[in-house]
Structure 1
Amino acid sequence: MKPLLLSHFTVTSCIGKGLMQTLDALRQCRKTLKPCDFETVDLSTFIGEVEGVNDVKMHAGMTEYDCRNNRLAQLGLEQDGFSEAVNAAAAKYGHDRIGVFLGTSTSGILETELAFRHRDITTGALPEDFIYNKTQNTYSVTDFTRQYFKLAGPAVVVSSACSSSAKVFSVARRMIEAGLIDAAIVGGVDSLCLTTLYGFNSLGLLSTQACRPYDITRDGISIGEAAAFALLERPSADIDNDAILLLGIGESSDAYHMSSPHPDGLGAKIAMQQALQSANLDPSDIDYINLHGTATLSNDAAEAKAVSAVFNNPVPCSSSKGATGHTLGAAGAVEAVICALALQHGLIPSGLNTQEVDTELNLDYRLENQQLALKHVMSNSFGFGGTNCSLIFGLAGSLGVAN
C-alpha cells in the first residue's frame, strides 16, 4: 500500500487530555484506573473515566447530539489544535473531499439508559427530548463529527467491537486510494455506560483489580472510555523526518466464536502477516508491538501464540490497557496514537499493573519504560466475533520519504 501521513492526531483518555498529558502519563507510569463509581453501577471492578465529560457544553446548533459519547468526542476534537487542522484541510481540499470514518461500540447508549429511567409509567413512552438517531444510534458520533466541521464527504461508522477504530484506517485508505477523497478524519470514541459494565460482568470478564495484561494472575479487563482522532493525508515531498506514516494494514475475520478468540490466534496471525506484507516489511523490521492485551486468560494467550508464530525472534511489546483501561471501540485509535508518540519520542511504554509476566506466553513483555530509537511499530486490535486488525506505523525519515 502507499503510505499515508498522520498529519495531526490527538487522544483523550483517563490518563490525560491531549498528547502532552498522555505522553507525560506514559513516561511517569501514572496509574489512573480507579474503583468503579460510575453512575449507579454497583460492581467490584476498576474503570478508566475521563474527568470533566459531564461539564462539556455542546456547541451552538449541536444540542440534539448531546450525550456522553458526543461530549467526549467534542472534548477530544478540541485538543492539540486538531479542530484547527481539520478546518485548514477543509479549506485546502474542499469540504466534500474529506471523509469521516470513526469506530464506536456502544455509542450513546447511556442516553437511552437514562431515558428509560424517565419513561412514562403508564404508557412506557420515552421522554420527548430523547432523540435516538442523534444520540444512541451507532452513526451518531460520525454524524456529530461531520456536522461539527460542516463536512460533506463520505462518512462511515465501523462497529466491530474492539477492532472498530483500527479498521477505520483501512476504510480511509481505500477511499483515498480510490480518489474519492483527499483526506480523512479517522478515530474512535466510546464512553462508559451501564450496558458495557454489566454486560462484561455477566460474561465473567471484569477484573476486581486494575487490569494486568499478560500477568500470570491476570483475571479480566478494566473498562475505560476515550476519544482519539487522526487526520490522514497523502504525504508531500517535504514532510519532516519525524512525521508519522501509516505503512501497513492487515484485516481478518476468523468468526471462531461470538466472544472468544481462536485459541491459536489464527485470525490475529493473518492480520499481522497481511500488515507486514502491505508495508513491504519483514518481521525483523518491527521494533515494538502494542499488543491488544486485554488481560483475560484466553485473549492474551491467543494473541501471544499468534505473535510467536509471526515473529521468529521476540519483539519488545506491551499493552497500554493497563494505563487506559480497555476503551472498546476507541481502543484501536487510542493505541494508534500511543504508537505515534512512541515513534516520535523513542519510547517503549511499560505494561502497567503487570507484576509477573506469564512465561508460558513467551513474549518480550516490558515492565519498565525503555528509551529506544524506533522505526516501525505495530498495533494490534482484535474484537468479538473474530474481527482482527493490525496496523503498522513508521517514521518518514526511516523510509527515505522525507527530505
Structure 2
Amino acid sequence: MKPLLLSRYTATSCIGTGLAATRAALAQGRSGLHPCDFETVDLDTWIGRVNGLEQAPLAPALADYDCRNNRLAMLGLQQDGFLEAARHAVARHGARRVAVLLGTSTSGILETELAYRQRDPLSGALPPDFHYRGSHNIFSVAEFVRHAVGAAGPAWVISTACSSSAKVFASAARLLASGLIDAAIVGGVDSLCLTTLYGFNSLELVAPEPCRPYDPARSGISIGEAAAFVLLERAPDTPGPADIVLSGYGESSDAHHMSAPHPQGLGARMAMEQALACAGLRPTDIDYINLHGTGTPSNDAAEGLAVGTLFGNRTAASSTKGATGHTLGAAGGLEAVFCAIALAEGMMPGSPGTRELDPGIDIAYRLQPESAPLRHVLSNSLGFGGTNCSLVFSRPAGDAR
C-alpha cells in the first residue's frame, strides 16, 4: 500500500489527557489503574478511569449527544490541537472529502442503563429526556465527531469488540486508495459502563488486581476507557524526517469461538502476515510489537504462540494494558497512538503490572521501557469472535529513533 501520513494524533486515557502526559507515563512505566469505584459497581477489580467526565457536560447545543462516551470523545478532540487540525483538513479538502471512521464497543450504553432506573413504574416508558440516537446508538460517536469537525464525507462506526478502532485504519486506507476521500479522522472511543464491567465479570475474565499481561500468574483483564484520534492523509512523495506513517494493515476473521481465541493464534498470525505483506516488510524488519496482551490466560498464550511462530524470540514486544486497562473498542486506536509515540521518541513501552514472563511463552517480552532505534513497529488488536487486525507504523525517512 501507499503509506498514509499520521498528520495529527492524540490520546486520552487513565494515564493522561493528551500526548505529553501519555508520553511521560509510558516512559516512566506508570499505570493509571486503581480499585473499581465506578457508579454502583460492586466488584473486586481494578479499572482505568478518566476522571472528571461527570462534571464535563456538553454544550447546550449538543445536549442530545450528551453521554459519557461523547463527553470522553470531546475531551479527546480538544487535546494537542486535534480539533483545529481536523477542521483545517475539512477546510482544505472540502467537507465531503473527509471521512469519520471510529470504533467503539458499547457507545453510550451507560445512558440507557441509567434511564432504565427511571422508567415509569406503570408504563415502563423511559424518561422523556433520554435520547437513544445521540447516546446508546452505535453510530452516535461518529455523528457527534462529524458534527464537531464539520466533516460530511463517509462516516461509520466499527464495533468488532477489541479490534474495532484498529480496523478503521484499514477502512480509511481503502477509501483513500479508491480516491473517494482525501483525509480520514480515525480512532476510537469507549467508556466505562455497567454492562461491560458486569459482563466480563460474568465471563470470569476480570482480575481482582491490576492486570498482569503475559505473567504466569495472570488472571484476567482490567477494564479501562479511552479516546484516541488520528488524522490520516496521503503521505508526501518525500516524507519529512519526523513523519510517521501507516505502512501496512492486515485483517482476519478466524471465527473460532464467541469469546475465546484460536488456541494456536491462527487469526492473529494471519493478520500479522497480511500486515507485513501489505507494508512490503519481513518479520525481521519489525523493531517492536505492541501486543494485544489482555492478561487472560488464553489470549496471551494464543497471541504469544502466534508471535513466537512468526517472529521467534528476537523482536521486542510488550503489552501496555497494564497501564491503561483494556479499553476495548478504543484499544486499537489508543495503542496506534502509543506506537506513534514510540517511533517519535525512540522508546519501547514496558509492561506495567507484569512481574515476569510466562516461561511457556517464548518471545522477547520487555517489562520496562527501553530506548531503542525504531523504524517499523506492529500493533495487534484481537477481538471477540476472532475479528483480528494488525497495523504497521513506520518512520520512512531520517534516522530511526
> TM-score, with normalisation over the residues of structure 1?
0.98
**Quick check: 2:294–2:300 contact (8 Å CA) kept in 1?**
yes
**Quick check: 2:313–2:363 contact (8 Å CA) kept in 1?**
no
Q: Using the alignment, how far apart are the partners of 1:47 and 1:12 within structure 2?
A: 15
**Quick check: 2:14–2:226 contact (8 Å CA) kept in 1?**
yes
The count of aligned residue pairs is 400
Q: Using the alignment, how far apart are the partners of 1:178 and 1:302 within structure 2?
A: 35
Deviation at 1:61, TM superposition (A): 1.9
Matched, 1:49 2:63: no
Task: Tell me what 1:372 maps to.
Answer: 372
Other structure's SS at 2:133 match: helix
Q: Using the alignment, how far apart are the partners of 1:179 and 1:244 within structure 2?
A: 21
Matches for 1:237-248 after TM superposition, within 5 Å: 237=237, 239-248=239-248
**Quick check: 1:244–1:340 contact (8 Å CA) kept in 2?**
yes
Deviation at 1:238, TM superposition (A): 5.0
User: Stretches of 4+ moved more than 3 A in 1?
Assistant: none
Which amino acid in 1 is paired with 2:369? N
Matched, 1:230 2:233: no
Which amino acid in 2 is paired with 1:393? F
- Post-superposition Cα deviations, 1:221-270, rounded to whole Å, max 9, x if no partner, equal 00000000000000124542121100000000000000000000001000
Which amino acid in 2 is paired with 1:297? P
Other structure's SS at 2:307 match: helix
Which amino acid in 2 is paired with 1:322? G
Task: Tell me what 1:79 maps to.
Answer: 79
Q: CA RMSD in A?
A: 1.1
Other structure's SS at 2:156 match: strand
Which amino acid in 2 is paired with 1:20? A
Other structure's SS at 1:62 match: helix
Which amino acid in 2 is paired with 1:267? G
Task: Tell me what 1:16 maps to.
Answer: 16
Task: Tell me what 1:125 maps to.
Answer: 125
Matched, 1:110 2:97: no
Which amino acid in 2 is paired with 1:223? I
Deviation at 1:133, TM superposition (A): 1.1
Task: Tell me what 1:363 maps to.
Answer: 363
Q: Using the alignment, how far apart are the partners of 1:356 and 1:143 within structure 2?
A: 43
Matched, 1:276 2:280: no
Deviation at 1:340, TM superposition (A): 0.3
Q: Using the alignment, how far apart are the partners of 1:56 and 1:364 within structure 2?
A: 42
Deviation at 1:59, TM superposition (A): 3.1
Q: Using the alignment, how far apart are the partners of 1:305 and 1:330 within structure 2?
A: 25
Other structure's SS at 1:397 match: coil
Task: Tell me what 1:290 maps to.
Answer: 290
Deviation at 1:381, TM superposition (A): 0.1
Other structure's SS at 1:134 match: coil
Task: Tell me what 1:207 maps to.
Answer: 207
Other structure's SS at 1:391 match: strand
Task: Tell me what 1:350 maps to.
Answer: 350
Matched, 1:33 2:33: yes
Task: Tell me what 2:303 maps to.
Answer: 303
Q: Using the alignment, how far apart are the partners of 2:256 and 2:161 within structure 1?
A: 15
Task: Tell me what 2:88 maps to.
Answer: 88
Larger displacement relative to structure 2 (254-263 or 29-38): 29-38
Other structure's SS at 2:61 match: coil
Q: Where do 5+ consecutive residues of structure 1 fail to align?
A: none
Deviation at 1:398, TM superposition (A): 5.5
Task: Tell me what 2:58 maps to.
Answer: 58
Q: Using the alignment, how far apart are the partners of 2:93 and 2:18 within structure 1?
A: 26
Q: Using the alignment, how far apart are the partners of 1:182 and 1:59 within structure 2?
A: 30
**Quick check: 2:313–2:364 contact (8 Å CA) kept in 1?**
no
Q: Using the alignment, how far apart are the partners of 1:246 and 1:399 within structure 2?
A: 17
Other structure's SS at 2:295 match: coil
Q: Using the alignment, how far apart are the partners of 2:32 and 2:57 within structure 1?
A: 25
Which amino acid in 2 is paired with 1:372? A
Larger displacement relative to structure 2 (30-39 or 55-64): 55-64
Other structure's SS at 2:392 match: strand
**Quick check: 2:184–2:232 contact (8 Å CA) kept in 1?**
yes
**Quick check: 1:375–1:398 contact (8 Å CA) kept in 2?**
no
Deviation at 1:60, TM superposition (A): 4.6
Which amino acid in 2 is paired with 1:100? V
Which amino acid in 1 is paired with 2:257? H
**Quick check: 2:99–2:181 contact (8 Å CA) kept in 1?**
yes
- Post-superposition Cα deviations, 1:342-377, rounded to whole Å, max 9, x if no partner, equal 000010111001112101111111111110110000
Other structure's SS at 2:397 match: helix
Task: Tell me what 1:382 maps to.
Answer: 382
Q: Using the alignment, how far apart are the partners of 2:381 and 2:101 within structure 1?
A: 17
- Post-superposition Cα deviations, 1:101-149, rounded to whole Å, max 9, x if no partner, equal 0000000000000000011011100000101111001110011001111
**Quick check: 2:312–2:363 contact (8 Å CA) kept in 1?**
no
Deviation at 1:313, TM superposition (A): 4.4
Deviation at 1:57, TM superposition (A): 3.0
Task: Tell me what 1:177 maps to.
Answer: 177
Aligned residues with identical type, % of pairs: 61
> TM-score, with normalisation over the residues of structure 2?
0.98
